A and B are shown apart, each in its own frame.
Chain A
Amino acid sequence: MTTTLEEPREATPSRGPRRGPAAALLRLLKSRETGVALVLILIVAITTLKNPAFLVSGDGFRDLLVTPSILLVVVLGQAVVIITRNVDLSVGSVLGLTAYFVGTLFVAFPTIPVPLMFLIGCAFGAALGFLNGALVAFGRVPAMVITLGTLYAFRGINVWWTGSNRINASDLPSGFLRLGTQQVLGIPVLTIIALVALAIVAWYMHNTRGGREFYAIGSDPAAAELYGLDKTKRVLAAFVFSGMMAGLAGVLFAARYGTINSQAGDGFELEAVGAAVIGGVAITGGTGTVIGAALGAFLLVTINRALPVLGIPDFWQRAVVGALILGAIVLDRVLAKREHRRLIEKRDR
């Protein structure tokens, strides 16, 4: 008895996760987020060397930050949904429908204060997300099918409602449109909104009980339920949140572009899933961080903008994005396999 008790005690120091600032730094350096960030910095650096206006000019810097912001907000919601082992293909349609709804409200009531409009947009998106979530959670149907259905339905409603109409910049209050170009301390307002949302969600997912429950449900739904977690409630919450973020992105879209036709946000679902996957959020759920997903969004958009500067015709953008997604998931898999082998060796030693 005594020997069996002593053995694990001896092994404990080397088996537990290492602590201390040095180990934390090492973990940070080896993380996926750092890798994506390095690639991002590298691309910006190379492109800037080739054409300084890419970063240094006022417009270049602003575009570099503003263009990814809308995708970033959508990716936040998408990442949370994917972490619960679901997927939300309807985000592009929710974005478009919300953008048109907000534009129509502004045309009808030009005096609505802008912050209230943000709340209305979020609430509208959340309502659409609730519909998705309720169908997935209570209907016991895979999220992919439901959100594929609502992708069609929401877009159809949008086209039906909009017809060949569109909202023009001249229809929107100038205070609202100024948000799209305004800067605070050199940083565009839209980017600040996106980064604040990112900070809140990242903190919530990492530190709170609710956030950890998303991960638990995604990594093993059966075990999570056995443990007593309310899966239905959490999945519903993830979809409501994803809809809310897509709604927010719709408002940002309206502010940034001013023109809203029935095709706003078309194809965003794949960019959002792609960005999350590139950022290390595994499609099988339970792993990845929203910060990684946000970096993935930045990387995706920046590559698209950098390619023409580097002399690669825009037409090849999608091919590069596809190769990037494939590279990222293969890398993930290889690293996971190596980690798995290492853990087994450690256990057997």
Chain B
Amino acid sequence: MLAHLPILQVIVPLMAAPLCLFLNRSKLVWLFALLVSAFTCANSIFLLQQVMSSGTIIYQLGGWDAPWGIEYRIDELNALLLLIISTIGTVVLFAAHTSIQKELAEDRHTLFYSLYLLSITGMFGIVSTGDLFNVFVFLEISSLSAYALIGLGKDRRALWAAYQYLIMGTIGATFILIGIGLLYQMTGTLNMADIASRLVEVNQTRTVFAAFVFLIVGVCLKLALFPLHLWLPNAYAYAPSIVTAFLAATATKVAVYLLIRLSFTIFGIEFSFSSLPLQNIFLVLGLVGIFAASTAAIYKTNVKHIFAYSSIAQVGYMIVGYAIQTTTGLMATLLHLFNHALMKSALFLALGAVVYRIGSAQLSQFQGLGRQMPLTMAAIVVAGLSLIGVPLTVGFVSKWYLLVAAVEVGMWPVAVLVLLGSLLAVLYIWRIVEIAYFKPPLPGREPVQEAPWTFLAPVWALVLANIYFGIDTRLSVQVAQAASQSLFGINP
């Protein structure tokens, strides 16, 4: 049983998804999905412990040896990602029952949970597999269920957003498929470790170069790097609140993981950073993304839009950390993966609570909510501070390491720009605070009640995690450090 943990992580939610359809009672399905999700959560904690104590876990599917069979390979990076996805997935799901009762028709509840589980399955699959074609298949499983989840939104613009996401997402996935094909053509294998070892001989060929470019562009579409982010804001803004909270915390992270895996493990650091001016490209795009997206966030009137644009900016920080190309830089990226998942899920879940009570995420509707929903608004403020990067919150930790990494290699301008970018975050968080706390309640509206506890419990769990990991950084820093050192080939 213990030896099979890596595959159970993927198989259990995959099998549970169709089972949801048999249960077909909203509350029952919710409990079932929650149970499954909690299982994956416990499983991933166990996997992380195992990886940290005894190194990479290799699991061969069906007992076939690696280059012929498919293998799952869990190292520190994978384990960290699995932990992020499964915990956020579970915590967000806890609030799902309350939230979707208001936002979805009764007959769609079962479908919602099975899509949710499928989406989680896809992400687990991408993260744990060591086979490149498997990555594509799981990528499509998670993306297709994400398109459908977004399309469930109440507003008709959700459909249009889902359609646009489908077109762009499929183009991205097909690019990845072309890249995989070109790599297979040159190496004759799909196993990541095997490709990496064989690529050394042929990496000066044009085919490998083309494969690299196709894969990078495809992945950047998925992770919403600045000029390729157009699908993201509307998809996040019009999806059901729960879906937004879940996708914002996990979907782009998985794509960032893929970028790291591709450039470090498969193509190797040397090839990835010397064949293309990748460092400059990513530095520029990351920084421009931070500023452009934060500025856009300042001018938006829908709070979901504001935080969606802020997500694009946060992806910018991750990419900057990646582009610095040192262990500290990569560590900052990984820390920000973890920390951003915590803050964005808290923010979007708290927004979900607001939407549950007032039925809208328009900024103008927030008037007076500071007094009427004190706990929810306090959660938004604390998570918002974390987004800005105020000390004692997780946002500070990852930005601190990012600054250290930039200064270490003498990129002073980058460090200054990262700080300036954080100031823009102050502006859009302040707008929300100002309207919620300093404006009188909206005239002619019934006094709004505090959100139900099923919302407050997960929101505050996430907010407290934001503070806890901002003070006690042992776990996150240790794992991120171990992962980034092993990616750079340094044995601790």
A, B from the same assembly? no
